[in-house]
A and B are shown apart, each in its own frame.
Chain A
Amino acid sequence: MTRPGSPRSGDRVRPRAGTAVLVAGFVTCLLLVGAVLLGSRGPGPLDQPDAAQQRDGLVLDGPTVAADVAGVHLRDVPNVLLFVRDAPDPDVLDTWRHSLPAAVQVTVVVQGPPRKDSTQGQDDSHRRPEDRTEDRPEDSPRLVDVVEDPEESLAAALRLPRPVDEGPGIGYAVVDAAGVVRYSTLDPSWPDNAFEVTTILESTP
């Protein structure tokens, strides 16, 4: 029991707590800065300079593109165009394609200058998917179309952003059946993010 006039325990505890709170606040700030700096990474060479614009998940309202661009028909059915610099690994591409709805047209757009075929007489791991269809059973349909677009006319028409390294963008675009661009984003890790394409397609009018 505390005698009248004697200091209460709280009178000693609270000033100490005040100092502790200051220290805790300072440490919290350090942890905050550390966590955010360690947790975030700056844009890589294949990313957009402003990360907020990359894969923002917002369905767009345009523009409307021509019916045919660089030999790709962009009407009648929803189109997904995957922009790459080199032909992707066929197995990775097959897995990615199987993750998307069946009722969409998928086109792989290989950008940049054409490369010499240096794979003759070697294994076929670098050959393009359409080149390998001859190896498939006859009843196995080709899963995707592959087009070359060294002029990057498809990327320009679909407003694919330009990455930090100023080279051709690696990412994808979604165009609805009426030819309206609904999504266009860089995504260097596109094999991991097929679910995003599906979500955009499901939200596409």
Chain B
Amino acid sequence: MTSNLPPALPSALPPGLPPALPPALRPLALAVQAVVLVVAETVLYRTYTGHDAAFHWSTHFLVAVIITVAWHTVHLRWRGRPAPAQLLSVLGLHLVAMAPDLLFRAGVAHERWMDVFLGHISSHYIPGGDRNWLALAVLAVLAYTWQLRSWLTPRPGLPTHRWRGQVSVLPLVSDLSQVVSAASPGIPSPSQGTWYLWVIPVRAYALLILTGVVVGGWLANRRWIARGGQSGTVVDILMWAVPGGIIGARAYHVLSRLQDYVGPFRDPWDILRI
């Protein structure tokens, strides 16, 4: 019996990675960046305290930290090495995030469109305010630290976290889902979930499911082929997996809310009315 299973993932350092520390992680470079960052942030902080507005400093700083970490994570996964300017990029993004405050000093009042500066306006209004931004920032830094450590010391038998070549995206998706879950109390619910094409309802959740099927199928097919699998196999699997997934999800929903479908004044046929 022949097997179509792809070869095992590499267990040593991925080819092309330097054996020693990459330039972005050299201690001297990091130390210099840390000094510049602390000095510059102190100056920026004083610009806020000078007119008693320190409560507007930390929001943009924390947003800059979170976006920097997200960028470094993507860079580490996609390019297979840490991004340059590990610490200075926080300062750069912080300057972008607080740009409207600098404009305000120059005589330009805030406007809603200034959200293009890393959410300068809206970032103040998430529930929990800076406390939640701080929690997200700490979570993001810890997650990135763990990924960096895994990249520096790959363990035999475990896949690397690189996206290119033989890739494992799942750890990143898992990390992102944790961040999104933590942030979800602050994500506003959309005001509309259904649109109509004439009389045909188009529901947002259905669009998201379809998007997930298409993107997931495309990604799985790509990875399967990269590992030596045959084209079309993933489509065959999808033909069973997607209906099974939808039926299973509906079954779970019905079982977990059985009182809505069975009992006095309930119509069990509603179970089939999706």
Interface residues of chain A, those whose CB is within 8 Å of chain B, are 8-11, 13-15, 17-19, 21-22, 24-26, 28-29, 32-33, 35-36, 39-41, 43, 50-52, 54-59, 187-189, 192-193, 195-196, 198-200, 202-203
Contact = CB atoms under 8 A, between A and B. Distances in A.
24 contacts: A10-B19, A13-B21, A15-B152, A17-B21, A18-B149, A18-B153, A21-B25, A21-B148, A21-B152, A22-B149, A26-B142, A36-B58, A39-B54, A41-B55, A51-B55, A56-B110, A58-B110, A189-B51, A193-B51, A196-B104, A199-B104, A199-B105, A202-B107, A203-B109
Contacts of B144: 25
Contacts of A43: 55
- Grouping DSSP codes into helix (H, G, I), strand (E, B) and loop, the B interface class, with mixed when no group exceeds half, is helix
Interface of B: 18-21, 25, 30, 41, 45, 50-59, 61-62, 65, 100-101, 104-105, 107-112, 121, 124-125, 129-130, 134, 137-138, 141-142, 144-146, 148-150, 152-153
A44 to B, nearest CB: 10
B149 to A, nearest CB: 4
Contact of A40 (B55, B137, B142): B55
A58 B109 contact: yes
A28 to B, nearest CB: 6
Contacts of B141: 25, 28-29, 32
Contacts of B111: 58-59
A90 to B, nearest CB: 22
B71 to A, nearest CB: 16
A33 B142 CA distance: 13
Nearest to B50: A192
Instruction: Tell me whether chain A's interface is mostly helix, strand or loop, or mixed.
Output: helix
Contacts of A58: 109-112, 121
Contacts of A200: 109
A17 to B, nearest CB: 5
A19 B107 CA distance: 49
Nearest to A200: B109
Contacts of A35: 41, 61
A11 B110 contact: no
Contact of B134 (A13, A33, A50, A203): A33
Contacts of A26: 142, 145
A32 B25 contact: no
